[in-house]
Amino acid sequence: MKTNEELIHHFYTCFKNKDFKGMQECYADHATFNDEAFRNLNATQVRSMWEMLIKSGKDLRLEYNHVQADENTGTAEWVAHYTFSATGKKVVNKIKASFVFENGKIVKHEDSFSFYKWSSQALGLPGILLGWTDFLKNKIRKRAAENLRLFMAANT
């Protein structure tokens, strides 16, 4: 059995290699996920989210570091470099991840990042002007949820 630190390294190595199946195997069947765009995902949804992001992220590149874990929790930092498909703008997103583990699997995964910095890069002027508002956050969250719903419907 992998240690939880090894599990985090495996997860991000799979991510770097665009191996969404390897990432999906890291989650328990009752896992949950949250970040600034994707809210309250269950295990099926989070597995599909990573598949969707990898398949759509043609120029996606990432680095990760500062991995730490004990028998119950873990953290890592990662940076995603990609082109936001809706606008064609380049994004460099710095993310802090936290994990909760059970029986060698991720049961809770939360990624946090500055929505304002992300929206300023991904959306340009609208993100600069409105990136701090709940209006824009909610609009992005609705679009992300709908994109995931459509992806899952097309890939089941």
pLDDT digits (tens, 9 = 90+) for 3-37: 999 999 999 999 999 999 999 999 999 999 999 99
DSSP label at residue 22: H
pLDDT of residue 121: 97
Three-state SS at 58? coil
Rounded to an integer, the average pLDDT of 57-85 is: 96
pTM for the full model? 0.94
Q: What angle is formed at CA 83 by the lines to CA 115 and CA 44, rounded to 5 degrees? A: 70
Tokens of 141: 């969250």
Burial of 21 (0-12, 13-18, 19+ CB in 10 A): exposed
Q: Does the domain made of 4-154 have the CATH classification 3.30.565.10?
A: no
DSSP state of 94: E
Q: What is the pLDDT of residue 112?
A: 98
